[in-house]
Structure 1
């Protein structure tokens, strides 16, 4: 594995994931799991909050000068280095006992997503990347294989993953999205983080969502890009800053963006 300027941060992210995994797995499918609705009517469990608290406590000790943005407790600190955390991405799956959920740990330096780790313990999988060090999957840094995006160059041969159709309808891009899917070889709603990790692995060629939060995306960007892909908003802006996302193997990216832009 190539050495990155952010290698120490990546090792710390694995330590954080180890700590959080003990919490998430102990509460997964627990009979006494406490689930509430947030003001936006999305669910939150006691595990979500406990995980973010654990991550913040460790970052306070290990990276006290860095800022932190988390889904459950907002933004703290003022630094160009900012850890962006989603303690459980896929909470709806988590609370229903579906194993497709993950802890997302990203590091942004200025406007650049320089490190990301996705830990999905119920699937027995992790994915990670640091700037200039490639993208990897495995159980640990010592037991890993490098991953890369596909070489598919035609929509008719390509596979697309998304989360749900409702968001596309509500975004005003529903017709554009459906027309795009009809011209692709295969579409599946793998959803959430998994769509983007499948792009990084080369198992899926395109993933797209019309509405996402920064903490949904920040950890994913470095993994997709270090795997050789592209990650932009629907308007083509690189990174997780536009409130939505398209990730691809790069070869299909511009055509997908064009197809998802509503025509007057």
Structure 2
């Protein structure tokens, strides 16, 4: 697959613009928050970030499609940018600093670029296909990400966002059993669980209900760090309705336990 250096640089520019918008509105007294039909929150910052990225990409990549959480899909083609303007909106509107903008580029069904930017905690992660996963302040100030080498569930650290949803999936007992058997469990939540897997600080992360824009950027970073990313039923990549990310060594065992 050809190099995606230019696309990665553009994704960082998009992330810089998003950071400016989100930080400007974070903890703003006049932040407007509404409830969407699916009963999740959306703020005016979510909408502003997505609008800014749509405008930038319409100039820089006019032939590319755009898939955003707030305004849906525009354009058509093999190349599509998949964006979650604020992953962790519930945290954002309550003043909790654990939230991020997720930016990815897909060609057909393959994620080739991913950037996760969490300005309130001063962190950013990124990856492009075949070039590894990285974290740092910028492309020129970074260090590689690498998953852990933990090989047993009993020694594993597991992170999640919520216990709700596993019962709806019909896997409440399996999930509870997995949590009980792991060495440590913590609800770091949302994007952060998966970035901790990529960094080797956590060994397993999973969520029962997600969309493509929640997962695309996360998946390539985890995989380029040496891990595995699939649905809970084992479908590789971010195309399923939920997510399981591990350091790779534990993936098959966790899939069996959740089956």
Instruction: Report deviation, 1:238.
Output: 0.9
1:1-264 correspondence runs (5 A): 5-261=3-259
Q: 1-side partners of 2:202 and 2:71: how far apart?
A: 33
Normalised by the size of structure 2, how large is the TM-score? 0.99
Q: 1-side partners of 2:80 and 2:241: how far apart?
A: 18
Gaps of 5+ in 2: none
Instruction: Report deviation, 1:15.
Output: 0.4
Q: Provide Cα deviations, 1:80-138, integer angstroms capped at 9, x if missing partner.
A: 11100000000000000000000000111111111100000001000000011110000
Instruction: Report deviation, 1:169.
Output: 1.9
The runs of at least 4 consecutive aligned structure 1 residues that moved more than 2 Å come to none
Q: 2-side partners of 1:4 and 1:128: how far apart?
A: 17
Normalised by the size of structure 1, how large is the TM-score? 0.97
Instruction: Report deviation, 1:168.
Output: 1.1
Is the partner of 1:44 in helix, strand or coil? strand
Q: 2-side partners of 1:209 and 1:258: how far apart?
A: 16
Instruction: Report deviation, 1:4.
Output: 6.5
Q: 1-side partners of 2:95 and 2:2: how far apart?
A: 37
Q: 2-side partners of 1:206 and 1:244: how far apart?
A: 14
Instruction: Report deviation, 1:229.
Output: 0.4
Number of corresponding residues: 259
Contact 1:164 1:189 in 2 (8 A): yes
